[in-house]
Structure 1
Amino acid sequence: MAAPFAVKPLKQPGLIDRILGGQPIENALIEINNLLATADNIKNVNDEQLERIFQKYKVKNPHRFDKDFNEIYRTYLTYCLSDKKMGEDEVAALQRLKSLFALNDNNAQNIFRSVAEATYKESLDQVLMDGHISDSEKEFLDRLQNELKLPDEFIKNIYAAKAGGLLQKRFDEAMSDARISPEEDRELEALAKNLHVVPNFDEKTRALLNKYRLLWLIDNGDIPEIPVSINLQRNEKCYFTCNVDWYETRAVRYRVNYGGPTMSVKIAPGVRWRMGSLGVRTMSNQELTRIDTGTMYLTNKRLIFMGTMKNTTIALTKILDFKPYKNGVDIRKENGKSPFIGFSDNVDVFAEILSRLLMAMKR
């Protein structure tokens, strides 16, 4: 790392300064910087040198530079910790700066804590870069914690955030295609072990991970068979089941009054005949109607529905097309009524399995 301070040129006096015979007040800070930059050792800089600068620039209240002094102290402290350790000369130099700038203990401690935490975070990032912490790296971090006098609670929290964040990033990358392969599973497990992190997923996340694992198996032609209690045909295997609502399109008829002009004709006291009111016609419209509720089974041969009122079977060879939606799947049959099967859980899994089965039958 370069030296903490470098000599800077002084600012030229402005018009008002020249008229009043003064110097830019900013030059006081620049001269203090240059004094530190040219000193053989900062611990040897004395109060008289600083006082001469204040007198030269007529600085009556040095506390006006407190923020700047804090930054100078922070800059030198950062330089001292660049090699992740603090020598005796550096400690003495920091004490000299603290005295020169009249920094109170609380202020100096806050600056040290801030720089120490930033230094540890940077070192931890470097250690975690390869996703593995060796024994030597662990010892290095322990020594650094002691050197920086950082409390265990901070170390615990920052490690959990950094290591957990790295693991979360790898999980997000693995899940970006909505598929998780066995190889990705092994890599994530190894990463968690190397980082000494125990993944803590909520129920929703665990369910999503299992779904992505299943989708990978389906994509790669290894659809898991599930046991069912219904009777299947020979060599028939069930791959999916869930509770569904069975819908079919039905023609809904309703009456519409004659839409032409109407008029009233008085034919007796208190009695009127509404002309046109007898022109009533019947309209029809196709609407999805829930026919039944029950359990659906998808096998390598059929789509089976076991309802409360009736059972229905559709051979996969009779399915021309299907369209998945968030709330179910629209099945297009070769003949007869084409149902809409309503369900909301794992529609994507059902669609992937059905797509694979239909593709396999066309080969």
Structure 2
Amino acid sequence: MNNFLSDEDIVHIGDTAIRTYTDSIRRPYSPRQLALVYEFINALGVSYANLNHAGAVDGFTQKLLKGFMVDFFTDKLTLSAAQSRCQRVISTLPISREVANEAYFYVLNKAAHNFLKDGFISDDEQRKIDEYVNSLTLPMNDLPVQLRGSEIEKISQASILKNFERGILPPKDINVPILLGKTEYVLWAFNGVTLYEEKIEREWVGRNRGMSFRICKGVYYRTGGSKGHAVEHSSMQPLGTGTLYVTNKNLVFHSMMKAVKIPYKKIIGMTPYSDGVEIHRDGANVKRMTIQGFDPWFVMNLMSMIAE
């Protein structure tokens, strides 16, 4: 009887070995680690695609890319040196641009988190981020869904806020389905948010005391009892889901069913939540509004600048 390992067995063993090795290595990473995995893959004698079917090789490759880019943000490598090492990895163990970007965005998100710990980004930190993003041509205007609302968005927003404070506005060539004033510019757009408006319902209530007498079929008369009084019930009713445009003059909610413009000069207060903001507007009998589905960090910082 012949004993042998099938290709499926070899792939399973190789997958496990690569994952175990990936978990064991620590920064700083060296060319020897890359060469070791490359030699191991060649020695297995199975196709690269089969071995990487569950992403084991991609996981190892991403870990190296993350390590080299972390070394850039911690000033252990220049960006050109970090990119050179990343390119060597990718040319040895090919991965898609999308998978590589996952690693680059991961590092950028970590860097943004550290930079924002003190509440703002310094000019030097902003230059470092801009150099990183521009050199890697990362699509900051089309972030993956899982990164929306992340620290990466905040660093882009922080840059816009800093420019706004200096009187620098973004170009007015953005196509948006709302009418802008002559000196109005869109600073940011939050997609998939829901607008709620306060709805007040009134009903007449009162405790009944006394006796009822039947006058005729279906007609009763109750004597005595306390006086009735009106009771109000307040609730927030959804008006639709759409996009919140933040301009230099207004908050504009736009959806297929509803469009609402809220001028900043009419806002007398805002209550931020983890996933939205409640807006208090000036005027008689004005109802409260809540916009849910976004991190209000950018809006609150913008309003603080306008209020100064």
Pair 342,129 (structure 1): closer, same or farther in 2 beyond 3 Å: closer
* Higher-helix-fraction structure: 1
Structure 2 alignment gaps of length 5 or more: 70-76, 103-141, 165-169
2:306 paired residue number: 361
Deviations 1:237-257 (A, max 9, x none): 21234576654324311132x
Pair 340,154 (structure 1): closer, same or farther in 2 beyond 3 Å: same
SS state at 2:44 partner:
coil
1:164 paired residue number: 59
TM-score normalised per structure 2:
0.51
Deviations 1:27-46 (A, max 9, x none): xxxxxxxxxxxxxxxxxxxx
Q: Does 1:206 align with 2:144?
A: yes
Deviation at 1:303, TM superposition (A): 1.9
Please tell me whether Structure 1 or Structure 2 has the larger radius of gyration of its CA atoms.
1
2:44 paired residue number: 150
Q: 1:218 aligns with which of 157, 173, 179?
A: 157
Deviation at 1:276, TM superposition (A): 4.3
Task: Give the counterpart letter for 2:157 in structure 1.
Answer: I
Q: Which structure has more RCO (C-alpha within 8 Å, separation ≥ 6)?
A: 2
TM-score normalised per structure 1:
0.45
Return the alpha-carbon distance in structure 1 between the equivalents of residues 258 and 65 of structure 2: 49
Task: Give the counterpart letter for 2:146 in structure 1.
Answer: L
How many residue pairs were aligned?
A: 235
Pair 295,269 (structure 1): closer, same or farther in 2 beyond 3 Å: closer
Return the alpha-carbon distance in structure 1 between the equivalents of residues 19 and 261 of structure 2: 64
Deviation at 1:357, TM superposition (A): 1.1
Return the alpha-carbon distance in structure 1 between the equivalents of residues 216 and 14 of structure 2: 101
Identity of aligned residues (%): 17
Does the Cα contact within 8 Å between 1:120 and 1:145 map onto a contact in 2?
no
SS state at 2:144 partner:
helix
Return the alpha-carbon distance in structure 1 between the equivalents of residues 220 and 158 of structure 2: 73
1:51 paired residue number: none
SS state at 2:197 partner:
strand
SS state at 1:262 partner:
coil
CA-atom RMSD in angstroms = 5.4
Does the Cα contact within 8 Å between 1:163 and 1:195 map onto a contact in 2?
no
Pair 357,271 (structure 1): closer, same or farther in 2 beyond 3 Å: closer
SS state at 1:217 partner:
helix
Q: Does 1:282 align with 2:230?
A: yes
Q: Residues 1-363 of structure 1: matches in 2 within 5 Å?
A: 106=3, 121=18, 130-131=28-29, 133=31, 138=35, 150-153=44-47, 157=51, 161-165=56-60, 167=62, 193-196=87-90, 197-198=95-96, 200=98, 206-209=144-147, 212=150, 213-220=152-159, 221=162, 226-228=174-176, 230-241=178-189, 242=191, 246-256=195-205, 258-265=206-213, 273-276=221-224, 279-289=227-237, 296-305=244-253, 312-315=261-264, 318-324=267-273, 326=275, 328-336=276-284, 337-344=286-293, 347-348=294-295, 351-363=296-308
Pair 154,251 (structure 1): closer, same or farther in 2 beyond 3 Å: closer
